[in-house]
Amino acid sequence: MDACNGLYKYVWLANVRFCISIHVPLWMAVMVYTNMFGWQMQERLQKVIREDYNGENVVGNAIIIPAYGEEPNEERIENMKKFNLCGGRPIKFLISAPTMRVPKDVINTSNAFLAFRATIIAVQKHNRDPENQPIRSVLCPGLGTAVGNMPFDRCAFQMLEAFEIHDLKIKDSLLNPPNLWVVTNHNDFMEDYCE
């Protein structure tokens, strides 16, 4: 990982660069998304959730949609340059991977792991389809660290666990768990993590 302006950490996961925001207040993240994409993306995502997922995108699932219904205009591109995201290049996709069903504390959960696991699996599935434009870079906030109050270190630990298991395939027993005890022990391990 390398730091960028103290606000982000970058980690390369296989051929995909993940940028994880740290210590960014919720209001700042909301403003970045709104300034970058407007409300159109939220409305399109809500439609997909209503029509394809019975009205709910649950923890452990990730949905990928195009970031824009149409190509971004010059104003949007200028906003990207202003925030220096992706070198001013248009962001092509949104990955929605919730960390909670309703706004609540997720400190003692493995929800950051589940959300990032879902993100990795969704990107891998997306990239396997030759019809899709491949995703090569992912910008990801600290999952569950705002409303969910998850400590940044626990979030980073859980996201790293998801990466090691589902991208690097380091921990075979957790990639395809042979029984529920393996999952239970791993879940307890992540929930009990302390810096």
169-178 tens-digit pLDDT: 888 888 888 9
Which residues face 3 on adjacent strands?
9
Q: Which domains does the chain have, with CATH numbers?
A: 2-191 (3.40.220)
pLDDT band, residue 162 (cuts 50/70/90): very high
Look at residues 192, 57, 180 and name the one whose alpha carbon lies nearest to residue 118.
57
How far is residue 129 CA from its own chain's centroid? Answer: 20
pLDDT tens profile 40-96: 888 888 999 999 999 999 999 999 998 877 766 777 667 666 665 555 566 788 899
Cα gap 94→66, rounded to integer Å: 6
User: How large is the average pLDDT for residues 152-158?
Assistant: 86
Residue 142: its pLDDT value, please? 84
pLDDT tens profile 114-150: 999 999 999 999 999 999 999 988 878 889 988 899 8
pTM of the complete model = 0.80
C-alpha pair distances (Å), 69 with each of 41, 66, 72, 93: 8, 7, 9, 10
CA end-to-end distance (rounded Å), the chain: 18
121 in Cβ contact with 168 (< 8 Å): no
Average predicted confidence (pLDDT) for the chain: 80
Residue 41: its pLDDT value, please? 82
User: How large is the average pLDDT for residues 156-164?
Assistant: 90
Which residues face 11 on adjacent strands?
18
Cα gap 7→183, rounded to integer Å: 33
Report how many helices (DSSP H) and strands (DSSP E) the chain contains, helices first: 7, 6
